[in-house]
A and B are shown apart, each in its own frame.
Chain A
Amino acid sequence: MLPLSLLRTAQNHPMLVELKNGETYNGHLVSCDNWMNINLREVICTSRDGDKFWRMPECYIRGSTIKYLRIPDEVIDMVKEETVVKNRGRGDMKGGRGGQNQRNRPAARGNFGGRGGKAGGQGGRNPHLKKNLNHNK
C-alpha cells in the first residue's frame, strides 16, 4: 500500500499533522496531492512547545515540511478494499496509486480510536495532544 494512497483515502477524516518545525495541526483533511501538500479545515495549530494554540478555519501546508501524519485507524481498512484489486498486478509502481472507486464513508469525527492504548502516555513534544488523542477514543 502506498502512503499517498492512504492519505488520499483519509480525505474528509480528522488527522494530526506534525511539521518538521515541531508545530502540530489538528484538522480534517480536505485535499492532498502527489507532493503530500495538504489542505486542512477546522484546524487547531499547536506551537512546538505545546503552550500556544490557534484556531484557523483552513490552511494549506507544503508537503515537504511534514514530519508525519496521524490518521484514524479505520482508514487503513478502507484503502485495502480499494487497492487489493488494483494491487493484484504488483510490481507496477502505479498499481497502488488506487484511490479509485473510492468509497466515501462518513468521517469518524474527532476519533482517532487508538486501538488499545495506555491513556495519558507522554512523550515527544506534545503531551497535550497525545493525551487528547487517547481521550478521544
Chain B
Amino acid sequence: MASGGEKREKNNPSGDQKEKKRKESILDLSKYLEKTIRVKFAGGREASGILKGYDPLLNLVLDNTSEYLRDPDDPYKLTDDTRELGLVVCRGTSVVLICPMDGMESIQNPFIAQD
C-alpha cells in the first residue's frame, strides 16, 4: 500500500518520480488503523468507527461503528441521533470521504468571524 512519502511531492519535483507515484494510492489508510475515522457515503449516510482493516479499493472494516442518523425530510441533514452498528464492512465504491475523528470538531461559522 501507499506510504505517506508521496505526499511530500514538493520535495521531489522530478518527473520520473511523479510518474511512479501516480501508480500508488494517495491515501495511506494504515495511519488510521485502530483509530476512529469518520466516513461519508454516497447517498448521505455517515458513520464513524475504529478502522480494523481496508483494501486498495477502499473497502473498510470498522468496529464499534456508529451511524449518524439523518433528518427523515432531508437525507443530507444530520441529527444528533446515532445508532450503533458494531462491526461492519463498508463498500469502497460508496465511500465519499474519510477523515480522522481525532481533531474533527463542529465549529461556529469561521467565515463570518473573518469579516
Contact = CB atoms under 8 A, between A and B. Distances in A.
Complex A–B touching at CB under 8 A: yes
Interface of A: 8, 11-12, 19, 21-22, 30-34, 37-39, 43-44, 47-49, 52-62, 65, 99-104, 128-129, 131-132, 135-136
Interface in B1-44: 6-7, 9-10, 13-15, 18, 22, 25-27, 38, 42, 44
A62 B76 contact: no
Interface in B90-110: 95-100, 102-110
B99 A132 contact: no
B99 A56 contact: yes
18 contacts: A11-B9, A12-B10, A31-B6, A31-B9, A32-B26, A33-B25, A33-B26, A37-B26, A39-B26, A48-B76, A56-B104, A58-B100, A60-B99, A62-B58, A62-B96, A65-B96, A99-B15, A129-B111
Main secondary structure of the interface of B (DSSP, over half): mixed
Interface extent on B, as a size class?
A: 35 or more
Contacts of B96: 19, 21, 61-62, 65
Interface of B: 6-7, 9-10, 13-15, 18, 22, 25-27, 38, 42, 44, 58, 76-77, 95-100, 102-112, 114-115
Contact of A31 (B7, B99, B104): B7
Given A33-B26, A48-B76, A55-B107, A100 B15 contact: yes
A128 B112 contact: yes
A59 B104 CA distance: 10
Contacts of B25: 33
Given A37-B26, A65-B97, A56 B76 contact: no
A53 B109 contact: yes
Contact of A60 (B6, B98, B106, B115): B98
Given A43-B99, A44-B107, A54-B107, 12 more contacts: A21-B96, A33-B26, A34-B22, A49-B77, A54-B104, A55-B103, A57-B99, A59-B99, A60-B27, A99-B15, A101-B15, A132-B111
